[in-house]
Each structure stands twice: as structure tokens, then as C-alpha cells.
Chains A and B, each alone.
Chain A
Amino acid sequence: MSFFFGLLLVGFVQGCLYALIALGYTLVFGILQFINFAHSDVVMLGAWFAWKYAQWMGVSFSVISIGTSLGILGLSVLSCAAVGFTIERLAYRPLRHAPRINILITAIGVSLFLENFTQLPYVFGSRDKAMPQLLDVYAGFDVGGVRVQYFQIITVVFAFALMALLSLLVYRTRLGRAMRAISFDTRTASLMGIPTGRVIAYTFVLGSALAAAAGILTGVAFGSLSQPSSTSWIRFGLKAFICAVVGGIGSIEGAVAGGLLIGITEQLAGGYISSSYADAIVFGVLILVLMVRPSGIFGVTMREKV
């Protein structure tokens, strides 16, 4: 039984991280009906910014104080928010009225640029590196044979706090109302005096900040950072994207539910069936969900207007 709960715990933690990234996909999709394929690169940037700042502060390889950790985390999140804003401003905004496929291709271009530019030796380099220990990953306790680490608890609390903040923002503030209005009908929203350009920029900033937090927590949990263009980042982003689709893309609750579902499925499949097939099973879940509910668990089917 401790085997099961061990898998469940790690799956749950992983699911929270997926959910944070999936929220970025879902927010942008909800508003622009477009998949931001550079999103997984922002996750990568988040983790690597943390590495870089830790290097500059000279605190890379020992356990460091909570203040410094939070400082590094905050700086990286801000940096990624800035990157998200810049990407939207330079790459996506000029294409606002172009056919949707153009902006999709641009997203892939941005993704390739980020992966290759950051490999330059004076940016992050092309090597795998150790993630600075922002939290002591070895500290923890045993509950009935299940190893619980403190950083897992911190990750879950932190992730849920961010998700709660986000839903407050979307459902309880003027900005959130503007976002929902734009997602409902961009043109009418702009006719009503909503500054659509600014609200879209904020959406990218929010999504990128969440992705950065997820990237950093992931780096800390796994202990090492894959080099910027590694397939492990792309696969990580792709899984989060699947979470968004399974949960119903465009839906905030869906992103969280999808994240947890995929995170836990992945671990249980790896533990009880075979780790070689864990990915195949995750994709199988995607196919199953899409067969039963083509718009995802929390998705709302909208009839196409003629």
C-alpha cells in the first residue's frame, strides 16, 4: 500500500506542476484561440534563469537561506513575465489580424529561437547542469513507509496558492472580467471600450510567470537541468499541453483537473504497468477523453455559428 501512496504523492506533485504550465496554454487559448508553442520554452527559461541568478549570487551548490531562495524565485518569475510580454509584443501582436496559422508558425519560430539562442555559451550554454538547491530536497519524513519530502509539500501549497490567486484574478477583478469578455467576443469587447491589446499582454505575462514558477519547482524536484534545447523540456511542455486539452482547453478548472489526472496516471502507469509504456498510456488517456468528450472534461461544446 505504501507503494501505491508513494506513487500517488509524486504523481500529485507532478500534476500540480503540469497544471501550472497548462494554465498558461489555457489562458492564451481562451483569449486568442491559439496555442502558444513557445510556452514550454518559457518553462525552460524559468528554471535556467534561476540557475543563472544563483550563479551570480554565488550560491549554487549548497542549501541556501529561504530569503535568497525566494529572491531567486521572484527574479526568475519576473524575468519570464518580461520575456512573455516581449514575445507577445514583438512576435504575436503584429499578427493579430493575420490568419491564425501564421501566428501558430510564428510560435514555433519563437520556440526554435529561444531553444537555440539560450544555448550560446554566454547565455546558459549547451550543457546539462545541476539545479541550485533552493530547497533542501533530502529533508523529509516517513509516513507508513511513504517518503514525504518537505519540498513536495511546499510545491503543492505554492502551486495551489498560485492557482487560487489566478482564479480570484479571473473571476473577481476588472482585469479578469475584461479577459473573460475578450475570450467571449474580442470585437464586441473592444467596441465596449476594453483595451484588448493591453489585456492580452497581461495574459501572456500571467501565463509566463506561472510557467516560470513551474520550471523552477521542477528543476528543484529533479535535481538537474537539461540543456535548453533538450527534448525533456519539449516533452514536459507537451504533457502539460495534453493536460490542458484533456481538462478542456480554455477552462481554468480543466487545466488543474487535467494536470492532476495526467500526473497521477503517469506515475501509476509507470509503477503498475511499465515505465516504458507510461508515455503511451498518458497519450492513450488523451485519446480516450477526446473520444468521449471531444472538448475535454470541463470543456463546453459551442455550436459553430453559420
Chain B
Amino acid sequence: MVRSRSSVQVLVGVLSLTLSAALATTSAGCDKLRGKKKKPAPSASPSASASPSPTPGGEGGTILIGEFGSMTGAEASFGESTHKGIELALEHINAKGGVLGKQLKLKSYDDAGNPEQATAVVTKLVTDDKVTAILGEVASNLSIAGGQVAQDSGTPMISPSSTNVQVTKDRDHVFRVCFIDPFQGFAMAKFTTETLKHTKAAILRDQTQSYSQGLADAFKDAYVKMGGSIVADESYSKGDKNFNSQLSKIKAAKPEVIFLPGYYSDVATIAKQARQLGLKLPLLGGDGWDSPELFQIGGQALDNTYFSNHYSHEEPRDAVKVFVGDFQKKFGIIPDGLAALGYDAAMLLADAMRRAGSTDKKAIRDAIASTKDFPGVTGTITIDAERNSQKPAVILKIEGGKASYVASVAPTP
């Protein structure tokens, strides 16, 4: 049919145009949670907000806390669970009279799972809303992006569940209430070699996620040290849907288990395609699997899989029982690990504010840094010199569309 040279040239130009339009779409996510009105985007740059604001945190009888999370996007259930956990914590805190005689108020924004958007909304929290402290993110690359703004503006930030090492590294204002990937990788490697007794593993990692890369490396190191061998180490990129070539290579390498340190949506899809290829072996993963939507997408393909997590609602501890009961009463669902960590992060922040005795950002930062033996739902939390917390990991087994508690792995001394 008809065509001319010039139209082919137009194509090439348009190709790049669409690519940038495509990127814009993903970041043009909704301005968050249930129909809140859109505010104008922050005009100030992060560096402009570096000077401490004169009156941090809300007026009158409230203290304003900021939250950023993935309420939409591929990891939307992370944001939603964490948000529910934080909401429950604030309800508990405010019911008991709040902090320093003031009620805690939450301001939440959606980052749509996009690092640029995370930077933008944290900037907005710091400059427009002038929050006292920030709670957020689950996915590590988003905590890294948002954490930079928090650090630059001198606002204390607690990540409930980002496990990548880089999140708190060299950032004295960024903390977390969960364990870190070197430990999580160690726990899973230990479980694989000692309990499952498998010594040949393959890895399929998401090369575009800091979390996945960090956890894959940690597992690899620990597994090789324990005498296991990695027979294949393959990767994919966020947004990939066809994992056949990677899984074919893994199949040809004849592993006994496959380690999938990705997020639930990809993992569930990979599990399905692996089973389609006739790979019936156990699949292993980390806390990125923790979502009700994992089972919804993965279905029967998830039988015979294991993942490490921060807590199990079946753990026989009193703190867990009370939390699960309250959460179910409020939301009608069983809380996942991210909800529990969101709850712990908010409770720990309130505790630190009480100990600081003021809403001064510097004082709160110091109080969080000196947290010792805080009784959380997900275990006892002590913030170490690296601003991380050391806690045991639990291993869950999936069978028949349900995850059940198998074992705990204690932190290494």
C-alpha cells in the first residue's frame, strides 16, 4: 500500500513521543485516596524546604503525620494494607488521648508505585502540609526516593516494611521497623538447606527493583556459604508478562527449587507460567509475596511454595491475637504482614513523640533513634545504630490458597 519516506521518519519521532507519554501516564496517577480534592503540585524544590519550618506539624490540637504509599499500580495492595494498619494505630492512639495532649492526624498521598511520584508527594508533605514525621513505603526503591526528600528536609521518616539495605544507609533521619534483606535472604537460605534439604536453586529476579536485586544477592551469598549451588540466575523487568525464556533456561538447568524475590503480582504470574511449563518444584520468596492478591492471581499454581515474612496472623503471641482481633473488627479482613508493620511503625512513632516530649523534628528523630525493646505486633523492636531493627522472620507455606505458619528463624547475633 502507499507510503513515503517522510512518514517513516515521522514514525521514529513519534515513537519517542509515545514513550514519554507512556511514562507520563504512569506518573499521572490519581491524587490519592477516595476522592480527595486535588491540590496544586508543589512548586518548591526539595532543597528549598531544607530550612526547618517554624511551626512543624499542624495547628491547634493536632499533630500532622504524612504517609506515602502505593494505593494504585501493580503493588496497590501494599499501600492499602499499610494504610489500614496505620489508620488502626492512629485510632488506638487517639482513643487514649493522643500524644502530648494532641490528636494525631494523617495526611496520605498515592505514589502509584512510581519513584518520581514518591519524590513529588513527599516533597508535598514536607513543604505544603508541613508534616512532623513521615510514614512510608513498602517497595524499597520508593522508600529510597521518598527518603531522600525526608532526609534533605530534616523530617524523621519510618519505613514500615522496606527491607533493602540502601533505604536507611547514610540517612540519619530514615528508620525502619522491619528486618533487612541480608537477614531475610539468610533465613530463606537456611530454611531451604536445613528444612527442605534442597541444595540446587535457581533465581529469577526483577532487575528493575532494588528490593528484588538486594534480596536475590543476599539469598545467593547465604545459600552458597551453606553449601548450596545456584544453577541459574535469570532476570526480568517490571512490566514483563512473558517469562517463558527465563523459565525455559531455568528448567534446562534442573534446579530443585526456584527463588523468586519479586512482588506478588509478578510472582503469581511467574508461578502460573512455571506450572504451565511443567515445573512442579517448590517456589520460594520473600515478604514481597505478602498480599491477598497473590492467591487471587496465582490460584492453584501457588501450591507447594514458601515465603519469608514479618509475622503470621497464626503466631501464638498475645500482641498478635489482640491486633488481629481489632483489625478484623474494623476492616473485616485478616491483616497481612504489611498491615502489622504499618501499625507498628505508627505506634513506634507515637511512642517516640511521647519520649521526645515535643513535636520538634530533631527531638523526635533522636527519640526514634534511641528506641529500645518496643513491644510491637511483629516482635520486639530495637533500633540499632544503622537505624534498622533486628527481628525474627517467619516462614509461611502456601497450600490450597492459604498461607500457614511453618517456622521462625531467629536473627543472627
Contacts and interface: CB of A to CB of B under 8 A. Distances in A.
Given A111-B21, A300-B3, A302-B3, A119 B245 contact: no
Contacts of B190: none
Interface in A217-249: 218, 221-224, 226-227, 229-232, 234-236, 238, 241, 245, 248-249
The 10 closest A-B pairs by CB, nearest first: A270-B245, A223-B272, A126-B72, A250-B1, A30-B1, A232-B239, A231-B239, A128-B265, A234-B22, A130-B297
A3 B248 contact: yes
A148 B17 CA distance: 39
Interface residues of A, number: 73
Interface residues of B, number: 60
A186 B110 CA distance: 48
A194 B95 CA distance: 75
Given A6-B248, A127-B293, A129-B297, A231 B238 contact: yes
Contacts of B407: none
B236 interface: yes
B385 interface: no
B277 interface: yes
A108 B18 contact: yes
Contacts of A236: 241
Given A129-B296, A222-B273, A224-B297, A250 B3 contact: yes
Contacts of A295: 3, 5, 8
A294 B12 CA distance: 12
Interface in A157-201: 180, 183-185
Interface stretch (B24-32, B329-337, B359-367): B24-32
B5 A294 contact: yes
A140 B265 CA distance: 25
13 contacts: A33-B2, A104-B14, A115-B25, A116-B28, A119-B30, A126-B73, A127-B76, A224-B241, A249-B8, A267-B244, A267-B245, A271-B249, A302-B2
Contacts of A180: 1
B2 A30 contact: yes
B376 to A, nearest CB: 28
Max chain A C-beta neighbours (<10 A), residue from B6, B22, B236, B296: B22
Contacts of A183: 1-2
Contacts of B244: 6-7, 10, 267, 270
Contacts, number: 181
A298 to B, nearest CB: 10
Contacts of B278: 142, 147
B241 A127 contact: no
Max chain A C-beta neighbours (<10 A), residue from B3, B15, B235: B3
Contacts of B248: 3, 6-7, 10, 271
Contact of A271 (B76, B245, B299): B245
Given A129-B296, A137-B272, A294-B8, 13 more contacts: A3-B252, A10-B242, A10-B245, A37-B18, A112-B25, A137-B276, A224-B297, A230-B73, A231-B23, A231-B239, A267-B245, A271-B248, A279-B237
Nearest to A104: B14
A302 B4 contact: yes
Interface string A60-101: 010000000000000000000000000000000000000010
